[in-house]
Amino acid sequence: MKVLSVPYKSLDNSSLGILCLDSCIFRLAIGEKMCSQPMSIDFYMLLLFEAEAGFHAVDLVSYKVSRGTLLMVRPGQVQQWDNQNWPRATMLAIRSSFLPNRSEPLGRSLPVEPMGTWPAHLDLGEAQYELVSNSLAEIKLEVLAARDDPSSTSLLLHLLFVLLIRMGRMDELVPPLAHRAVEQENIYRGFRRDIETHYKESRQARDYASRLGCSGRTLSRAVKSASGMTPKQVIDERIALEAKRLLIYTAWPLKRVALELGFAGSANFIRFFHRTAGFTPEQFRTTYAHRLTTDAEDQARVSARSDPTP
């Protein structure tokens, strides 16, 4: 099953970098037929679902969604819409370049690290739903009124931070910055960014520590404090996720998947995948391919029963 690549520019050609829209508008912009297949985005996406029930899948995890369900998806993750129920949602799309660098004064005040535990999944109560919905409405109004000057960007960043702080109070999406040493926080962020660039090249924690200019012990402390895992576990988790994507969304033979992920051969990849995922690659591909086929057939049967045309 092919994965559709959806760039931010397909939604918005302006230089602003933040957009709030209804999921119906998103579907029209992308095309309903295209929206029915798995897609990968190059921007951050926040989804606040409204009344209709259904599901939304992110990286092979299917979330039941209804009024008050909140999902956050980060760049590169593969998501799939429920093309039977089309649950409606308010969407906030944020280009990575819109977020300030941590070295900037405004960047240091960013309350939530947009990598660690995304996608975050929250089920909001009615009062919480109204609070988040109102914040999104305010951001949408400011986007429409935005001018091409720094003041518009600054105002929208502050509104985004307010929203993230409120969400953090509703549920601890990630450990607050105040609970971690600044130096360890910076090392962890750098480590996660470096993984995205180099995970196909190296699975050794010492290589990442070297590029970050710290010792292996320092990296281990920072990663353990932030995620509860060792650097090796975080690296392996990222590689295993990409392996699952390739096994499900491509028909590549195992040898090509192994080479794409930096393994010397299929045997090494099979051992790695079995250790991290608990299945052989063939077992995983067969199980999930059957599940996807069954889901598609079920939806087709439901559509046929509800179609009034003879």
pLDDT > 90: what percent of the chain? 48
User: pLDDT band at 304, cuts 50/70/90?
Assistant: very low
pLDDT value at position 242?
94
156-191 pLDDT, tens per residue?
988 998 888 788 777 654 444 444 456 777 788 889
Minimum mean pLDDT among 19-33, 112-126, 248-262: which range?
112-126
pTM of the predicted structure, to 2 decimals: 0.73
Spatial CA neighbour of 52 closest among 83, 22, 87: 87
d(CA 225, CA 188): 9
Letter string b/e over residues 135-174, b meaning 16 or more CB atoms within 10 A of that residue's CB: bbeebbebbeebeeeeebbeebbebbeebbeebeebeebb
11-59 pLDDT, tens per residue?
988 888 999 999 999 988 888 888 888 999 999 999 999 977 899 998 8
All domains of the chain in start order, with CATH = 4-172 (2.60.120.280), 179-288 (1.10.10.60)
Contact predicate 45/75, CB 8 Å:
no
Minimum mean pLDDT among 2-11, 101-110, 112-121, 271-280: which range?
112-121
